[in-house]
Amino acid sequence: MMTLRTILFALAALLLAAATSPARAEEGQVNIQFFKAGWVIGGSYGKGVLSFRGEQYLLKVGGLSYGLTFGGSQTSLEGRVRNIRNISDVNGVYGAGSAGAAIIKGGQAIVLTNQNGAILELSGTQTGLIVNFDLSGLALTVE
């Protein structure tokens, strides 16, 4: 009897682990554009589009940074957001320490995670005159 109970418990635990596994999480495609400017304290604002499960969702992009920030730039990034189960998982603050510079045009690549476990993998270009070595947070909101 004890062996049957142990087997049933192990089977239930295995089924629960499979149901909550990250393998069931999905991914979507992201395209964002934002402007960043600052002098020590920087700010960014922009918009984007998320494609998820065949639907298009508008994104609002905002953020603050603190550190060595000087100048202004426009950034266009595209990529994917992974480890999401529903659209609300994308909402949140994606934090990072960053360092970079753009004089006329430069490349960008970044991987960020938010409090919901969503992983944002983006690459693209930054145009403008900006130098930064700062801590920043990028907030995404699905509209």
Per-residue pLDDT of the chain (143 residues; tens, 9 = 90+): 556 555 545 555 545 544 455 557 899 999 999 998 888 788 889 999 999 999 999 999 998 777 777 788 888 999 999 999 999 999 999 876 555 555 666 677 788 889 999 999 989 888 887 776 655 678 899 99
Domains in the chain, CATH or no CATH each: 26-142 (2.40.128)
CA 13 to CA 11: how far, in whole Å? 5
Nearest 5°: phi and psi at 89? -65, -20
Give the full edge-to-edge strand order of the sheet including 55-84.
26-52, 55-84, 119-142, 92-113
What's the whole-model pTM score?
0.72
Nearest one of 81, 141, 78 to 112, comparing CA atoms: 81
Q: Are 43 and 37 in contact (CB under 8 A)?
A: yes
Contact 136, 36 (CB under 8 A): no
SS3 87: helix
Q: How far apart are CA 120 and CA 90, in angstroms?
A: 9
